[in-house]
Structure 1
């Protein structure tokens, strides 16, 4: 499976203010580009915190688009998604997965959500390499990760990110803002994830940078 991490940040790598305000950091042209990227992948993944805070649809919403919708995946170890949220309510229309560390919740499965059980690590978080393997076993080969800083950091820390799609808005939020990437626990520069920039383009007022893992 190939894993692409999408980041939409300020110039200083923040995804929200200290209060959590994040809509919209990047502009409309960048947001449309993200929808096109979704359409190019088999599944879109977020963490439970993003799902609970934003109640997203994670679908491709472009004018005139009538193609295949990617599956939606939520890392939700405690299965906190409400049956009333958009992802669960539309699970019979668009394939929707919850990755948990316990037995499947009946309210989710009855709504059409497929609950995958992964091995737990740390604070009962799904072990990501087993998550990727489980999704690959479902026939998904191209994963688009749109989670928050903790999810981004976890995928990078595990060495699972093959490509970056980074949209930078021409604003500066400051150190009190929420970082795009959580802790990586690296002690030396040689231990950091390394990428090669493959393309830079303007995206409205934003900058769109594309990278692949070295």
Structure 2
């Protein structure tokens, strides 16, 4: 196996877990002939890192370590991976990208090179493997996905607020898959009062971590009979009438929630969109037409074309009878 093939395998291993607030990392070890002698991935924060798991599994001498992210140098809940690689007598380390975390960012490469180990940065970037981690380390806030659903003529609910169900079963399953990729799911108090959502992942066979339910409550109290497990509630403070959504995201990032999905409703969706805090969008368009005016996907007035923001559409696919459109904000 050459290094490019080993990196492909390491990426696949890294994607097997979501160890936030730590990054996804995979590692493949090769001997001098290019034979795989060990591999591993970081499964959960506080547990062994990918490099140490791979080294512990090694079935022979290690010449090259192929790892998706620069090995760490700091003592956290686990010891530095650079130490393990040096102690194992590794001769070369091929890394996907430099770690954007200020505690590492180049220091891992420096330590390895000072120990006489050859280091090469070969890609892919950590942003391709773990966008939430990369975004948080570079901006200080989580990566935000705004999920919207509406009829073909843009109605997300009836005038009275009825929305179950605008989309079909397959679209709702796809939405649960998005939740499964998220560390936290955010809604406004209007959605809580109208739908009493659970905000959890309900997919048969799912055993991954559940996202943390988050409610932007405004001035209305949380109902005592809500269906969420351990929701995180943000209410206005210091005499304000509204919650500062930028502060909310910074706090969520500090709690280790790096992939955040906003599910609405229209008032929250509009507020976080107009604040410029959305990074990605997924819009489900139901195969039906409402035929009248109910509730829009985003509340408020569209007063000028200059207010619109461009979205790079990265994909569109049928999910059952509905259409799922994915994009990133430009």
* Distance in 1 of aligned mates of 2:287 and 2:157: 14
Which residue number corresponds to residue 99 of structure 1? 234
SS of the equivalent of 2:313 reads strand
* Distance in 2 of aligned mates of 1:125 and 1:147: 16
Q: Where does structure 1 differ by over 2 angstroms across 4 or more consecutive aligned residues?
A: 184-187
Structure with more relative contact order (C-alpha pairs < 8 Å, separation 6 or more): 1
* Distance in 2 of aligned mates of 1:60 and 1:80: 25
Aligned counterpart in structure 2 of residue 162 of structure 1, from 272, 279, 303: 279
Asked if the contact 1:169–1:206 (Cα under 8 Å) also holds between the matched residues in 2, the reply is yes
- How far residue 192 of structure 1 moved from its aligned partner, in angstroms, is 1.6
SS of the equivalent of 1:167 reads strand
Which residue number corresponds to residue 175 of structure 2? 34
Structure 1 pair 171/119, CA: closer, same or farther in 2 (3 Å)? farther
Structure 1 pair 119/154, CA: closer, same or farther in 2 (3 Å)? farther
* Distance in 2 of aligned mates of 1:9 and 1:194: 19
Asked if the contact 2:179–2:261 (Cα under 8 Å) also holds between the matched residues in 1, the reply is yes
Structure 1 pair 198/184, CA: closer, same or farther in 2 (3 Å)? farther
SS of the equivalent of 2:145 reads strand
Which residue number corresponds to residue 195 of structure 1? 311
Which residue number corresponds to residue 75 of structure 1? 216
Which residue number corresponds to residue 205 of structure 1? 321
SS of the equivalent of 2:264 reads coil
- How far residue 49 of structure 1 moved from its aligned partner, in angstroms, is 0.8
* Distance in 2 of aligned mates of 1:184 and 1:145: 20
SS of the equivalent of 2:213 reads strand
Which residue number corresponds to residue 260 of structure 2? 143
- How far residue 184 of structure 1 moved from its aligned partner, in angstroms, is 5.8
Which residue number corresponds to residue 12 of structure 1? 153
Does structure 1 residue 133 correspond to structure 2 residue 250? yes
TM-align CA RMSD: 1.6
Structure 1 pair 204/119, CA: closer, same or farther in 2 (3 Å)? farther
- How far residue 81 of structure 1 moved from its aligned partner, in angstroms, is 1.0
Structure 1 pair 134/207, CA: closer, same or farther in 2 (3 Å)? same
Asked if the contact 2:155–2:293 (Cα under 8 Å) also holds between the matched residues in 1, the reply is no
- How far residue 19 of structure 1 moved from its aligned partner, in angstroms, is 2.3
Greater C-alpha Rg: 2
* Distance in 1 of aligned mates of 2:193 and 2:204: 27
* Distance in 1 of aligned mates of 2:185 and 2:303: 27
* Distance in 1 of aligned mates of 2:211 and 2:245: 20
Q: Give the stretch that moved more between structures: 161-170 or 70-79.
A: 70-79
* Distance in 2 of aligned mates of 1:134 and 1:58: 19
- How far residue 186 of structure 1 moved from its aligned partner, in angstroms, is 5.2
Q: Structure 2 unaligned runs (5+)?
A: 1-141
Q: Structure 1 unaligned runs (5+)?
A: 103-117
Asked if the contact 1:157–1:184 (Cα under 8 Å) also holds between the matched residues in 2, the reply is no
* Distance in 2 of aligned mates of 1:12 and 1:185: 16
Asked if the contact 1:119–1:130 (Cα under 8 Å) also holds between the matched residues in 2, the reply is no
Q: What is the aligned residue count?
A: 189
- How far residue 78 of structure 1 moved from its aligned partner, in angstroms, is 2.7
Structure 1 pair 199/119, CA: closer, same or farther in 2 (3 Å)? farther
